[in-house]
Amino acid sequence: MVERLFALLLLIIFCPVMILISIMIFIISGRPILFKHRRCGFNYKEFNVLKFRTMHINNGSDITKYNDKRITKIGKMLRTLKIDEFPQLINIVRGQMVFIGPRPEAASIVNNNKDYFSYLNIIKPGITDVGSVVFRNETNLDIMYDADKYNIEILPLKYKLVNCTLKNYVFSRKLILFITSIISIINHKLALYIISHYFLTSEEELRNKLNSLFSHKIF
């Protein structure tokens, strides 16, 4: 209840900014202003996650590639600053999400790989977590666009990162993770340093696998 009230307060505070963004999207890209995508939430209950629309209207893939031509000019800016996710405060107010928790995954992926999403029995998806900081630039990875490789190589890593988020899931760690997520927008390397030294200190094998995945030492 506290998180929902805080999210409502932030919605009120950021209302002028969100209205301005909505007007800019309408002028530059037209309708719709918001983008809805079906995701799995607590106890596998599906819901529509909300974002500001950052792409031209299309019938293409749900997967966004690096420098995807469908992304609008204003959409690129919103994505870089993570402002496109502001409407997810509405998801929190509705009780569908929390601030700190694993990012909500597409329903189709969850339903086909439930072993990697058992945490949905104990926690709601969130706006940010350890995995979302680590995979902030995941669109750079070619492996993201191969469904089989994604399920075999990416999902197990994200599952382990969720466990790192939930380990000692107390307010102080949530606050550090929230601040780190903001830092990642400005300086991703510094954010990864904080993640490595605060959340992955005993996860040497996981760090090595992530270094191998990104083809350079990020930890």
Residue 124 lies in a domain: no
Same domain, 82 and 31: yes
Same domain, 22 and 68: yes
Residue 76 lies in a domain: yes
In terms of residue numbers, what domain contains 155? 129-219
Residue 102 lies in a domain: no
Residue 143's identity, in one-letter code, is I
pTM metric for this prediction? 0.89
Number of domains the chain contains: 2
- One-letter-per-residue 3-state SS of the chain: CHHHHHHHHHHHHHHHHHHHHHHHHHHHHCCCCEEEEEEECHHHCEEEEEEECCECCCCCCCCCCCCCCCECHHHHHHHHCCHHHCCHHHHHHCCCCEEECCCCCEHHHHHHCHHHHHHHHCCCCEEECHHHHHCCCHHHCHHHHCHHHHHHHHHHHHHHHHHHHHCCCCHHHHHHHHHHHHHHHHCHHHHHHHHHHHCCCCCHHHHHHHHHHCCCCCC
Residue 108 lies in a domain: no
Same domain, 83 and 136: no
Same domain, 71 and 154: no
Residue 112 lies in a domain: no
Same domain, 75 and 162: no
Give residue 136's pLDDT.
86
Give residue 177's pLDDT.
95
Q: What is the dihedral of CA 149, 152, 158, 162, to 10 degrees?
A: 160
Same domain, 86 and 3: yes
Output the tens digit of pLDDT for each of the chain's 219 residues.
889 999 999 999 999 999 999 999 999 888 899 999 999 999 999 999 999 998 877 665 556 665 667 888 888 888 888 999 999 999 999 999 999 999 999 888 898 898 999 999 999 999 999 999 998 877 666 666 666 777 888 899 999 999 999 988 899 999 999 999 999 999 999 999 999 999 998 899 999 999 888 877 787
Residue 157 lies in a domain: yes
Same domain, 134 and 92: no
Residue 163 lies in a domain: yes
Please tell me the number of Cα atoms within 13 Å of 189 on its side-chain side: 2
Give residue 85's pLDDT.
94
Same domain, 86 and 135: no
Residue 114 lies in a domain: no
